[in-house]
Amino acid sequence: MWTYVDKIINIIKVIFFVIPSKKGYCPLGEIQTKSPFFVLKCNNSLDPRLHGDDKLTHKYMTRANKKLIIYIAVIIYAVIQLLFSKNNPLPKSSVVPTNVPTPISCRGQACLTQVKVIRVIDGDTIEIEGKIKVRYIGINSPEISHDSTGKKTGEQCFAQEAFLENKKLVEGKIITLVKDISDKDKYGRILRYVYVDDLFVNEYLIINGFAKIMAVKPNTKYYQQFKIDEKVAKENNLGIWNKCK
């Protein structure tokens, strides 16, 4: 790299230091310098290559103009920086975003992050990796009945709409599961609050009329908030409150 720097310095010497004066110039072959940046000395003898009236008196230059020195320093610094950046490029910082942010309510509790939803069973129940069924805490959507083989045998009012909305929200996606107090219900399904990115799915389904509130102690952390959400859905005549009077 320093070879390039030396070449650059020599070019600068030629461009900036061999400057014609009123009486003559310093021939390139006679340049002597104490420093490549500040002092340039020419031989006081006449240039033997010149004859007669064309002979020029050589000047002795002791210091370069201050502005010229600044310009040269800036140029050399910029070139060195450029060469260093090419030979030693800075590592690219990569930022890997988290697909599912950990909600505040998850702190200090048992949370399952980065869990993928395999299928949606109905408006408030899903199946995740490992064939684990998850029941949403605090809500109850219209039921879709199935027999022992999994075949659909019937459904309540607005059950299909709730199922499709839940499917649109979570199926095939990465979700965050947040525990309240109890881990499972009597059917062996794990009980959780569900988040997709920053969307609180349990609350979304209530406030948009796809589910009603269902408080089962001791899992009542968001009961008061869900009551407010349900009131909003009723007042706006949404979903169940419109179709299933």
Residue 37 has pLDDT above 50, yes or no: no
pLDDT digits (tens, 9 = 90+) for 194-212: 999 999 999 999 999 999 9
Mean per-residue pLDDT over the chain, rounded: 73
Residues 222 and 92: their CA atoms lie apart, in Å, by 43
pLDDT, residue 83, reads: 63
Nearest C-alpha neighbor of 232 from the set 215, 212, 214, 202: 212
Rg, the chain, Cα only: 40
pLDDT band at 115 (very low <50, low <70, confident <90, very high): very high
Nearest C-alpha neighbor of 170 from the set 215, 211, 209, 205: 205
Residue 25 has pLDDT above 70, yes or no: no
Residue 240 has pLDDT above 80, yes or no: yes
**Coil vs helix vs strand at 35:** strand
Q: In this structure, are strands 132-136 and 190-196 parallel, antiparallel, or unpaired? A: parallel
**pLDDT (average), residues 56-64:** 41
pLDDT band at 66 (very low <50, low <70, confident <90, very high): low
118-121 long-range CB contacts below 8 Å, 24 or more apart?
A: 119/171, 120/163, 120/166, 120/167, 120/170, 120/171
**pLDDT (average), residues 38-65:** 44
Percent of the chain with pLDDT over 90: 48
Active site residue 49: no
Is the link from the previous residue into 218 a cis peptide, with omega within 30 of 0?
yes
pTM of the model: 0.56
**pLDDT (average), residues 39-53:** 45
Active site residue 30: no
**pLDDT (average), residues 28-54:** 45
Which of 143, 155, 161, 171 is labelled catalytic? 143
**What domains lie within the chain, and their CATH numbers?**
2-87 (no CATH), 104-243 (2.40.50.90)
Which of 155, 161, 171, 189 is labelled catalytic? 189
Active site residue 189: yes
Sequence-ordered list of residues with C-beta below 8 angstroms from that of 5, at least 6 positions apart, any chain: 76, 79, 80, 83
**pLDDT (average), residues 43-70:** 48
pLDDT, residue 98, reads: 33
**pLDDT (average), residues 127-151:** 89
Residue 95 has pLDDT above 50, yes or no: no
**pLDDT (average), residues 119-129:** 97
138 by Cβ neighbours in 10 Å (0-12 / 13-18 / 19+) ranks as: buried
Residues 7 and 27: their CA atoms lie apart, in Å, by 19
Helices (H), the chain: 2-12, 66-87, 159-170, 201-207, 223-235, 240-243
In contact, 124 and 187? CB cutoff 8 Å = no
Sequence-ordered list of residues with C-beta below 8 angstroms from that of 45, at least 6 positions apart, any chain: 58
Nearest C-alpha neighbor of 201 from the set 107, 135, 118, 130: 135
Tokens 């490549």 — which residue? 36
Which of 135, 165, 203, 230 is labelled catalytic? 135
